[in-house]
């Protein structure tokens, strides 16, 4: 780049000459360019001289550089710069001429807008004053008009009020006329219309109108109800209602002249007319309700005709089971419960055959038998609510009452189809004080029953010991009785109305299972020294049976529903981790899982103790067999017939006797686990303590194989098809020890040359070795003494 002081001078380039004219032209063009640049610099006031000089130097360096031939471009550059200058000047002139015009136009528009705004303000002031003047003038008119509107509204209210009164009086007059002409059906229909009007006016603030209408409805309702009730009771009396005799005697009663068709026609007519009074009856009559603490489900009143039919039975019930009557004995709840069941049974046929068709004709979906049962049930609930506080702290009486109530509920639901969603005795037993007492008594009697069953002489004897098909589980009597107890408890609480109460009973059952497990553990510890004894095996069978039954119950629909209810409770209370909640929700776990795990652990410990006991006996019996002279036994070719080693007899006899003993005492599933655990230990013991501890000649290896395959393995053939598969170590060791010399040498060479390689594994598999490792096979091969003398 050229220094600033040398701008305008031609550089001196060696070997390059120019004429003086060309130099002058170049210098003139440089001067013009610089002048143009200086002119631009004057236009831009923010650019100082130093910046301009730097800019010009950079521009020339860029366009010309050190190449003198590029100076030919200067003409074009000067022309281009001149054009740019002219364009900029034109733009400046154009802009300077247009801006004043725009400013002048904007000022003109603003002036016009100001004039319009002033006009609008004047108009607004004029309108404001006009409106105020009009309002002042119209104010008296508005006040007069408002007063007139108020008067009109008040008159309309009075008129509507008078219309309602007129309508009520008109309906009342119609009822009176219908009654005077003995047209009871029309009178009843009119009363229904009046009752519906009363319902429409329920939200009205006209208290006097409501009172007048209510009084009018009540007046005519009483008259019509009394008349129809009297006629209805006469017809019922002709039918010998209520039926005190059992159902077998009713057929004869219905066929008497009192049951003639005209009587049944009158019954149907009066029944339908009484049904019409249902609306007004519900409007006027407050239904009897037990205290809220019993949490009875909401239900409509029993229909009016059924109420009348129940009246004589209600009188009988109160007469016999209230007050000082001899039949009102607090210790005999079965008397009034049986009486109610008998009444329901006695009247079922009549209700189904005579009353239900009438209801079906009228239209509403009402079941006559259920309505009748609901009415009688309220008597029972009132009686229970009155009696329970008197016997709450007498365990025997309270327990007897609960038993009788549960029997009553069972028959009511199963025989007479009473729905569990209706009010029933379980709602009374679910009241907090009563329910907690029920739980306490249930626990107390269950523990007493457990004490008695475990102390019984037959506690550890199976009830079905002589019946092979039934006695597969070999369940002792105490375990059978205990699970029956749990099943009975389930049946007792399964009809409780709320899931929370059922869950409390479920916790009681789990506590009882845990208590019984602890008792079994205590008895088991007393029998530890005789772990193969009858009682110890019976305890083991009991533990297995309880665990199996609980696992089956976990898949029961009832307990699955309880599991879902428990899941909801735990989710609300954050009582479980997310993992546990997920397991419950996905049914991976059950409500009995904790108990099952504890029982399974106890079962495994007891089985392990039995296996250890038998295994110790087997090890003692195998000591002689271990010391057998395996190096000097004759080969198979030297013996006429192979026979069992005499030293193996104690071992085999011990195994056989213990297997037979425990097969007899343990259930099938437990015994299967027992012998497989024993075989696993026995296999390892024979392999490690007998085979690996000795060396074998050809006869010794053959004798070992004969003892194992022809005598030990067949002891377990009763329990599986291929017992040798459970003695993998022993079986494969016998294979290795009894390989012929050629195969053994070949196998040994392969193992030594292909240590840890696939060919070694393939060679082992070819001779039937799958369990033993390559190192184990090499050790076994070294235990053989019948190798040929190769001179090595």
The pLDDT score that the predictor gives to residue 251 is 53
Q: Which of 775, 737, 781, 770 shows the shortest CA–CA distance to 756?
A: 775
| Peptide linkage before 242 cis (omega within 30 of 0) | yes
Tell me: pLDDT of 511 over 80: yes
Range in 30-34, 461-465, 667-671, 676-680 with the lowest mean pLDDT = 30-34
Proportion of the chain above pLDDT 90, given as a percent: 56
Nearest one of 4, 71, 69 to 37, comparing CA atoms: 4
**β-bridge partners, 784:** 696
Q: d(Cα 402, Cα 382) in Å, to the nearest integer?
A: 16
Q: Which residue would you say has higher pLDDT here, 207 or 486?
A: 486
Between the alpha carbon of residue 315 and those of residues 319, 320, 321, the distances in Å are 6, 9, 10
In this structure, the number of other CB atoms found within 10 A of the CB of residue 285 comes to 13
In whole angstroms, what is the distance from residue 610 CA to residue 665 CA?
12
* Positive or negative: CA dihedral 678, 683, 684, 686: positive
Average pLDDT on 191-202 reads 86
Confidence of residue 512 (pLDDT cuts 50, 70, 90): very high
Q: Tens of pLDDT along 692-701? A: 999 999 999 9
> Is the predicted pLDDT of residue 254 greater than 80, yes or no?
no
In terms of pLDDT, which residue wins out, 42 or 104?
104
Give me the count of residues in the chain.
792
Two tokens, residue 541:
């069978």
What pLDDT is recorded for position 739? Answer: 93
Mean pLDDT, all residues of the chain: 85
Alpha helices in 356-431 (DSSP H): 356-362, 368-391, 395-416, 425-429
* DSSP symbol at 352: I
Model pLDDT, residue 324: 87
Q: Sign of the CA dihedral 231, 237, 242, 246?
A: negative
User: CA dist 358 to 16, 95, 260, 265, 270, Å?
Assistant: 136, 105, 17, 10, 11
pLDDT at 16: 39
Q: What is the pLDDT confidence band of residue 715, given thresholds at 50, 70 and 90?
A: very high
Burial class (CB in 10 A: 0-12, 13-18, 19+), 295: middle
Average pLDDT over residues 292-297: 84
Cα–Cα distance measured from residue 192 to residue 64, given in angstroms and rounded to the nearest whole number: 117
What is the distance between the alpha carbons of residues 434 and 294, in angstroms, rounded to a whole number?
A: 10
Q: Is the dihedral of CA 716, 719, 724, 728 positive or negative?
A: negative
SS3 596: helix
Tell whether the model's pLDDT for residue 161 goes beyond 90. no
| Per-residue confidence (pLDDT) for residue 2, from 0 to 100 | 37
Average pLDDT rounded to a whole number, residues 179-189: 89
Higher pLDDT, residue 311 or 788: 311
Do the Cβ atoms of 274 and 228 come closer than 8 Å?
yes
CA distances from 294 to 290, 430, 605 (A): 7, 7, 48
Q: Which residues contact 648 (CB under 8 A, 6 or more apart)?
A: 625, 628, 707, 711, 712
Tokens of 715: 């002891």
**Residue pair 679/716 in contact by the 8 Å Cβ criterion:** yes
The two tokens of residue 711 are: 């005598």
Contact criterion met (CB below 8 Å) for 572 and 487 = no
**Could you read off the pLDDT of 441-451 as tens digits, one per residue?**
999 999 999 99
**Dist CA 414 CA 418 (whole Å):** 8
Tell me the DSSP string of 722-771. -GGGG-HHHHHHHHHHTS-HHHHHHHHHHHHHSTTSHHHHHHHHHTT--S
Are 783 and 737 contacting, i.e. CB atoms less than 8 angstroms apart?
A: yes
SS3 letters for 507-526? HHHHHHHHHHHHHHHHHHHH
d(CA 105, CA 523): 115
Give percent above pLDDT 70 in the chain. Answer: 87
Q: What's the confidence (pLDDT) of residue 13?
A: 37
Q: Which of 42, 81, 43, 84 is nearest to 59 (CA)?
A: 81
Q: Whole-angstrom Cα distance, residue 712 to residue 691?
A: 15
For residues 526 and 548, give the distance between their C-alpha atoms in angstroms, rounded to a whole number: 25
Residue 642 has pLDDT above 80, yes or no: yes
Q: Give the list of residues 6+ apart from residue 383 with CB closer than 8 angstroms, or none.
A: 317, 321, 322, 336
pLDDT computed for residue 25 by the predictor: 47
Check residue 299 and give its pLDDT.
Answer: 84
pLDDT for the residue 570 = 63
Q: In the 8-state DSSP scheme, what is residue 696?
A: B
For residue 439, what pLDDT is reported? Answer: 96
In this prediction, residue 45 carries a pLDDT of: 43
Q: Residue 558 — very low, low, confident or very high, per pLDDT cuts 50/70/90? A: very high
Residue 398 pLDDT exceeds 70: yes
Lowest mean pLDDT segment, chosen from 266-275, 285-294, 460-469: 460-469
Confidence of residue 202 (pLDDT cuts 50, 70, 90): confident
Cβ neighbours around 466 below 10 Å, total:
8
Reported as a single tens digit per residue, the pLDDT across 569-612 is: 766 665 555 656 565 555 667 889 999 999 999 999 999 999 99
393: number of Cβ within 10 Å: 9
Query: Which of 56-65, 192-201, 336-345, 724-733 comes out lowest in average pLDDT?
Result: 56-65
Report the run of H or E that residue 156 belongs to, with start and end: helix 74-180
Torsion angle in degrees (nearest 10) through CA of 784, 786, 789, 792? 0
Could you tell me the CA-to-CA distances from 255 to 28, 267, 504 in Å, in that order?
149, 16, 53
For residue 590, which phi and psi values (nearest 5 degrees)?
Answer: -135, 175
From the CB of residue 533, how many other CB atoms can be counted at a distance below 10 Å?
A: 14
760 and 778 Cβ atoms separated by less than 8 Å: no
CA–CA separation, 602 vs 591, rounded Å? Answer: 19
Structure tokens that stand for 610 in this block: 């039995």
Residue 388 makes CB contacts below 8 A (sequence gap 6+) with: 398, 401, 428, 434
Between residues 52 and 612, the one the model is more confident about: 612
pLDDT average, residue stretch 474-486 = 94
Check whether 159 has a pLDDT greater than 60: yes
**Helices (DSSP H) in 574-665: which residue ranges?**
578-585, 593-621, 623-626, 649-665
Q: Say whether 13 sits in a helix, a strand or coil.
A: coil
């Amino acid at each position: 780049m050229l220094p600033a002081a040398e701008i305008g001078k031609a550089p001196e380039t060696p070997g390059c000459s120019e004429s003086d004219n060309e130099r002058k032209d170049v210098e003139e063009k440089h001067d013009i360019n610089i002048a143009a640049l200086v002119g631009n610099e004057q236009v831009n006031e923010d650019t100082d001289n130093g910046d301009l000089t730097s800019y010009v130097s950079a521009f020339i360096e860029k366009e010309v550089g050190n190449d003198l031939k590029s100076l030919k471009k200067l003409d074009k550059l000067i022309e281009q710069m001149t054009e740019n200058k002219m364009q900029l000047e034109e733009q400046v002139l154009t802009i300077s001429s247009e801006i004043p015009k725009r400013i002048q136009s904007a000022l003109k528009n603003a002036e016009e807008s100001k004039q319009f705004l002033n006009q609008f303000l004047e108009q607004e002031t004029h309108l404001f004053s006009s409106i105020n003047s009009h309002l002042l003038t119209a104010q008296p008119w508005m006040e007069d008009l408002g007063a007139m509107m108020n008067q009109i509204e008040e008159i309309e209210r009075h008129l509507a009020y008078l219309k309602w009164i007129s309508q009520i009086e008109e309906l009342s007059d119609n009822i009176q006329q219908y009654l005077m002409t003995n047209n009871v059906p029309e009178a009843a229909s009119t009363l229904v219309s009046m009752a519906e009007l009363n319902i429409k006016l329920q939200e009205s603030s006209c208290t006097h109108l409501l009172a007048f209408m209510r009084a009018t409805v009540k007046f005519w309702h009483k008259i019509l109800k009394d008349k129809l009730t009297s006629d209805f009771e006469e017809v019922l009396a002709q039918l010998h209602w209520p039926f005190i005799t059992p159902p077998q005697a009713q057929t004869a009663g219905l066929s008497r002249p009192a049951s003639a068709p005209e009587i049944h026609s009158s019954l149907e007519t009066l029944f339908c007319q009484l049904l019409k009074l249902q609306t007004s009856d519900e409007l006027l009559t407050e239904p009897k309700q037990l205290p809220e603490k019993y949490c009875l489900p909401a239900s409509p009143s029993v229909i009016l005709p059924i109420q009348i039919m129940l009246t004589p039975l209600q009188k009988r019930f109160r007469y016999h089971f209230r007050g000082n009557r001899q039949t009102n004995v607090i210790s005999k709840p079965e008397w009034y419960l049986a009486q109610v069941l008998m009444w329901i049974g006695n009247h079922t046929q009549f209700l189904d055959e005579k009353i239900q068709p009438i209801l079906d004709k009228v239209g509403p979906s009402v079941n006559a038998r259920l309505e009748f049962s609901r009415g009688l049930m309220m008597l029972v609930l009132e009686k229970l609510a009155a009696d329970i506080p008197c016997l709450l702290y007498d365990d025997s009486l309270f327990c007897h009452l609960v038993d009788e109530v549960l029997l009553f509920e069972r028959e009511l639901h199963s025989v007479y189809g009473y729905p569990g969603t209706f009010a029933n005795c379980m709602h009374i037993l679910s009241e907090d004080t009563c329910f907690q007492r029920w739980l306490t008594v249930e626990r107390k009697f269950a523990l007493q029953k457990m004490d008695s069953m475990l102390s019984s002489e037959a506690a550890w004897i199976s009830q079905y010991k002589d019946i092979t098909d039934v006695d597969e589980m070999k369940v002792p009597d105490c375990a059978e009785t205990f699970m029956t107890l749990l099943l009975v408890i389930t049946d007792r609480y399964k009809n409780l109305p709320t899931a929370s109460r059922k869950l409390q009973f479920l916790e009681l059952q789990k506590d009882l299972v845990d208590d019984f497990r602890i008792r079994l553990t205590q008895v088991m510890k007393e029998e530890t020294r005789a772990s193969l004894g009858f009682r110890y095996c019976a305890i083991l069978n009991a533990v297995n049976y309880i665990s199996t039954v609980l696992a089956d119950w976990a898949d029961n629909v009832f307990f699955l529903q309880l599991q879902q209810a428990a899941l909801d409770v735990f989710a609300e209370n954050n009582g479980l981790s997310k993992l546990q909640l997920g397991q419950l929700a996905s049914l991976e776990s059950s409500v009995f899982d904790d108990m099952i795990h504890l029982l399974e652990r106890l079962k495994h410990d007891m089985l392990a103790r039995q296996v250890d006991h038998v295994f110790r006996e087997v090890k003692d019996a195998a000591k002689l067999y271990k010391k057998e002279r395996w190096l000097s036994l004759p080969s198979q070719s030297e013996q006429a017939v192979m026979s069992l080693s005499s030293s193996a007899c104690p071992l085999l006899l011990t195994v056989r006797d213990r297997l037979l003993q425990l097969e007899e005492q343990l259930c099938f599933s437990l015994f299967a686990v027992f012998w497989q655990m024993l075989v696993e230990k026995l296999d390892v013991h024979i392999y490690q303590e007998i085979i690996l501890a000795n060396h074998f000649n050809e006869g010794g290896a053959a004798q070992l194989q004969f003892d194992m395959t022809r005598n030990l393995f067949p002891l377990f053939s009763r329990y599986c098809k291929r017992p040798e598969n459970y003695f993998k170590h022993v079986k494969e060791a016998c294979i290795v020890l009894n390989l012929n010399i050629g195969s053994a040498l070949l196998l040994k060479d392969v193992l030594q040359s292909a240590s840890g390689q696939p060919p070694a594994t393939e060679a082992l598999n070819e001779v039937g070795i799958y369990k033993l490792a390559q190192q184990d096979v090499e050790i076994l091969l070294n235990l053989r003494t019948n190798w040929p003398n190769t001179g090595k």
